[in-house]
Chain A
Amino acid sequence: MELTGLLAYLISFAIMAGIYAVFALGLNIHWGYTGLFNIGIAGFFCVGAYTSAMITTPQPTGVYAHYVHQLFGWHLPFVFGLMGAALMCGLLAFFIGLPTLKLGEDYLAIATLGIAESLRLIFNNEQWLANGPRGLMGLPQPLAHLIDARHYNYIYLVIVLAVMALIYFLIERSIRSPWGRVLRAIREDEVSASMSGKDVFAFKMQALIFGAMVMGVGGALYAHYSRSISPSVFTPLYGTFIIWVMLMAGGSGNNKGAVLGAFVMWGIWIGTQFLTDFLPYTVKSRAPYIRFLVIWILLEFILLYRPEGLLGEEKRVSKLIE
């Protein structure tokens, strides 16, 4: 009994860490390889989750229609949810990139941050869009009929890890190809890259869209795991910055580092929860802030003393031909 409880706990830990690993992989395309400063991951997280939710749930009927509003409900299988989430996020990234990618890095940062904050407010206030602050509930889970609901997480863990592995493979392929070489050149010196005949704007746009699509898939994976989503989930702390800490800790410019960072930091995050359980009752309500404070101080230490993270970038990245 003890053991199965622990196992169930580990499974749910691994699912969340795996989902965060997907986000970290997406961010690695942006920041690690291209130097795009996206600090609004929560925006893509949010759009991915809501898109998949609306694609896979039916439009509410009967009594429910009075209480639950959503823009559309297509009741399609999970896979379409994932693809729709990726497409919507890609589209959003395109429109964010259009005015900002020709300007300095800071502009993209402030634009992504602005989109993320604005989207959260819009989803919170517009009832017709996705049911306002109460959000959407009862999202379907793929292959749920195969197994008893109590053990469903085993299946979902396999799905998450499979999606993560596929994304990992796709990114590795393109990063180690000439495409990735151009991205890294842009990261190193944009002017020199354009003088070497590379259309910097086009490549940055591709990287921005690709990374955003990966984040969209992450959002969809989260939505169908938690089965209910509301705007309060997609805050800067949980939706954006914890992912940044994961990537910086694991090693930006290294996909293995991104995955490792996600698991390690999620472990630390969950671990500190156990520690704060020992705090006296009066300060307990503020325990999450203490945990976040620790994580942020950790980030500053990484930036100052180990900017390459646990696993730095490999020396030779373009190595299709070894």
Chain B
Amino acid sequence: MDILEVKNLVKRFGGLKAVNGCSLGVKAGTITGLIGPNGAGKTTLFNLITGHLKPDGGQVLFQGRDITGLPPHEIFHNKIYRTFQITREFSHMTVLENLMLMPEDQVGERVWNTWFRFNAIYVQEKAIKEKALEVLEFVGLRRLANEYAGELSGGQKKLLELARSMMADPDMVLLDEPGAGINPSLMQKLMAHIRQLCEEKNITFLLIEHDMNLVMNLCNPVIVLSEGKKLTEGTPEEVKTDKRVLEAYLGGQYR
């Protein structure tokens, strides 16, 4: 069954059609790769799905529900989480606070509760902190829990993004170039985490990636985007040998 379905999505920037009648589906429980040459509209597609941009046409369905054009925080409540190509951590907050922010509808997020329901908040905060520390343990950032998030290295920030997505208990996570700019050993770790999360927590991943090694190892199926449209879809091997894909990338980094 398709957990995420995109139908005829259109987004224009002035005269440029960044996403041009794109339709695709993502099967539940998969790690689906989204590849395509630079400027193909991959990031824009993510922005449309997660409510960061409003589409000029088309539909986005998640678990059968129409979520087209909802504001980002409501998309989040539908259990979709996304990361950014350039990580967007809360740099003047500690790593731990970055994680503790994530759970939705915390009692202490209502300002009057902070004065009148102190005990409830206290209990919940304890649980959230516990969970956050567990997650940090899982991604191996435990010892940095009380450092400013802004002071982490690029690769650690990618791990922090993943950790944040785990705090949110999502059904689906969209990752925008999770492997960009991190060293190979960290990359291996990241891949292992993603696979583990998919298998154990049944989280569906859709990830944009340029590193073909990562895509070929991790993703199945792979969707190819070109000029704002789906070009083709298939197993990594099928995609690798598809002539149209090679054409689309001609002059790109993958031949």
Contact in complex: B97, A191 (CB < 8 Å): no
Contact with A along B115-137 (1 / 0, CB 8 A): 10010011001100100000000
Contact in complex: B77, A315 (CB < 8 Å): no
Chain B proximity of A192: nearest CB distance (Å)? 4
9-residue interface stretch from A12-20, A176-184, A268-276: A176-184
Contact in complex: A188, B121 (CB < 8 Å): no
9-residue interface stretch from B14-22, B103-111, B193-201: B103-111
Contacts of A191 in B (CB 8 A): 52, 72, 88
- In chain B, positions 82-118 with a C-beta closer than 8 Å to chain A are 82, 84, 88-94, 96-97, 100-102, 104, 106-111, 113-115, 118
Chain B proximity of A32: nearest CB distance (Å)? 11
Let me know if A63 is at the binding interface, CB within 8 A: no
Contacts of A192 in B (CB 8 A): 84, 88-90
Kindly report which residue of chain A lies nearest to residue B130, judged by CB atoms.
A321
Tell me the complex Cα distance, A184–B97, Å.
Answer: 10
Tell me the complex Cα distance, A321–B125, Å.
Answer: 7
Contacts of B94 in A (CB 8 A): 315-316
Contacts of B97 in A (CB 8 A): 181, 184, 316-318
Contact in complex: B122, A321 (CB < 8 Å): yes
A174-B114, A194-B73, A197-B77 known; A188-B106 Cβ under 8 A: no
Contacts of B118 in A (CB 8 A): 173
Tell me the complex Cα distance, A182–B118, Å.
Answer: 17
Let me know if A200 is at the binding interface, CB within 8 A: yes
Given B76, B89, B125, which contacts A197 in the complex, CB threshold below 8 Å?
Answer: B76
Let me know if B71 is at the binding interface, CB within 8 A: yes
Contact with B along A151-181 (1 / 0, CB 8 A): 0000000000000000000100110011111
Contacts of B113 in A (CB 8 A): 177, 179
Our count of residue pairs bridging A and B at CB distance below 8 angstroms stands at: 112
Let me know if A126 is at the binding interface, CB within 8 A: no
Contact in complex: A206, B111 (CB < 8 Å): yes
Q: How many A residues touch B, CB cutoff 8 Å?
A: 32
Tell me the complex Cα distance, A195–B92, Å.
Answer: 18
Contact in complex: A189, B88 (CB < 8 Å): yes
Contacts of B129 in A (CB 8 A): 321
Contact in complex: B164, A196 (CB < 8 Å): yes
- In chain B, positions 50-74 with a C-beta closer than 8 Å to chain A are 50, 52, 71-73
Let me know if A105 is at the binding interface, CB within 8 A: no
Let me know if A1 is at the binding interface, CB within 8 A: no
Residue of B108, B115, B122 with highest tally of chain A CB at under 10 A: B108
Contact in complex: B72, A320 (CB < 8 Å): no
Let me know if A78 is at the binding interface, CB within 8 A: no
Let me know if A117 is at the binding interface, CB within 8 A: no
Let me know if B141 is at the binding interface, CB within 8 A: no
Contact in complex: A185, B73 (CB < 8 Å): no
Let me know if A210 is at the binding interface, CB within 8 A: yes
Chain A proximity of B172: nearest CB distance (Å)? 13
Contact in complex: B72, A188 (CB < 8 Å): no
Contacts of B101 in A (CB 8 A): 178, 181-182, 185, 193, 196, 198
Contact in complex: A315, B146 (CB < 8 Å): yes
Tell me the complex Cα distance, A194–B53, Å.
Answer: 12
Contacts of B93 in A (CB 8 A): 181, 184-185, 188, 317
Tell me the complex Cα distance, A155–B106, Å.
Answer: 41
Contact in complex: A189, B77 (CB < 8 Å): no
Contacts of B121 in A (CB 8 A): 177-178, 320
Chain B proximity of A8: nearest CB distance (Å)? 37
7 contacts between A and B (CB under 8 A): A173-B115, A174-B115, A178-B125, A179-B113, A188-B90, A189-B90, A210-B111
Q: Other than the known A174-B115, A318-B125, what 10 A-B pairs have Cβ atoms closer than 8 Å?
A: A173-B114, A177-B114, A178-B108, A178-B121, A179-B114, A181-B100, A195-B76, A195-B81, A197-B104, A206-B111
A-B pairs with lowest CB-CB distance, top 8: A197-B76, A178-B108, A188-B90, A192-B88, A177-B108, A194-B72, A177-B114, A174-B114
